Amino acid sequence: MLAPLGAVYGISVGWRATRTRPYRPRARVQCIGNLTAGGTGKTPVAITIAGRLAHRGKVVFLTRGYGGRFTGPVVVDCRRHSAADTGDEALLLARHATTIVARNRGAGAQLADRLGAEFIVMDDGFQNFQIVKDMAIVVVDAATGFGNGKVIPAGPLREPVHSGLNRADAVILTGDGSPELPPFPRPILRANLVPQSPELFRGKKVLAFAGIGRPQKFFDMLTRHGAELQGNAAFPDHHPYSAGELEALALRAQSANTLLVTTEKDYVRIPPDSRHGIEPIPVRMQFEDASKLDSLLDRLGESLIDAV
């Protein structure tokens, strides 16, 4: 019944692609996006790519700031801004490089140019056509793939798979699994989320909670790396935690004598005065063949040199 609405949604993406006049920044633009609604690991991929671009030139993140009240363009300040201002992902990005929140990506890219950016890394925005992209990578959750293959609201897709992959320069499969991909002649990379500090929880009894695209991925990662998971609590993506919810989680952990842990993305959404007793678990994206990623980024660097 929802399929006709999904078809209209998918057509609207193509319509925007042909009708939008994009801004061409001086910086080279690397877009990290997906074809489904959340849960693929875009932000950790974006952070990894920014880190590998940093020795090639100045990197600036550009993001919509989903869940925040700022429309931008504005430079994120972790000391002054909260997740309610900029969204949780922007605060995570800002820990690694200058980050701009802008609903209008063209205006955000102009600000990045004024800041002297040589590379703009877009966290999300694959279906946004307000700026020219020099390279676009689609991140796919290897366990869930493209779901039922239908477009929102009939399924998880933001646009039809074939049209999205036609615009992609590479695909990154995150996690375990072998999703069915249509013929794709460009690079396919594999990566996994791993904890930066597994000693925080290895061998310990843990109560975990998460409000991300796929909370089970976080819970499974903890178990895979040695946590004794005593229980978990899953919340919707970008969930704003109430004082009552946090108190209930703390009581559960205290009564079971367990360590209360969550993701970094959840942690930045928790008010500072409510964080006591909660341990954030930093993660990073580990690539099976990092040389393939570097080869892709070399192409982006070469385009920057050619433009000078």
- In this prediction, residue 4 carries a pLDDT of 54
Q: Are 269 and 211 in contact, with CB atoms under 8 Å apart?
A: yes
Same domain, 179 and 297: yes
Same domain, 136 and 92: yes
Same domain, 33 and 153: yes
Of 120, 71, 68, 110, give the one whose Cα is nearest residue 91: 68
Taking residues 111-125, what's their average pLDDT?
96
Rg, C-alpha atoms of the chain? 19
- In this prediction, residue 308 carries a pLDDT of 47
**CATH code of the domain containing 259:** 3.40.50
Same domain, 298 and 248: no
Summarised one tens digit per residue, pLDDT across range 165-179 is 999 999 999 988 888
Same domain, 35 and 76: yes
Peptide bond between residue 271 and the one before it cis (omega within 30 degrees of 0): no
pLDDT at 157 over 80: yes
Same domain, 12 and 123: yes
Same domain, 136 and 270: no
pLDDT at 131 over 60: yes
Q: How many domains does the chain have?
A: 2
Same domain, 122 and 215: no
Cα-based distances in Å from 277 to 210, 267, 272: 15, 11, 11
Same domain, 149 and 13: yes
**CATH code of the domain containing 175:** 3.40.50.300
At 261, is the secondary structure helix, strand, or coil?
strand
Same domain, 222 and 185: no
Same domain, 68 and 181: yes
User: Which domain range does residue 242 map to?
Assistant: 197-281
Burial 192-205 (b: 16+ CB within 10 A, else e): bbebeebebbeebe
Q: What is the pTM of this model?
A: 0.88
Cα-based distances in Å from 245 to 87, 164, 251: 20, 38, 10
Same domain, 290 and 171: yes
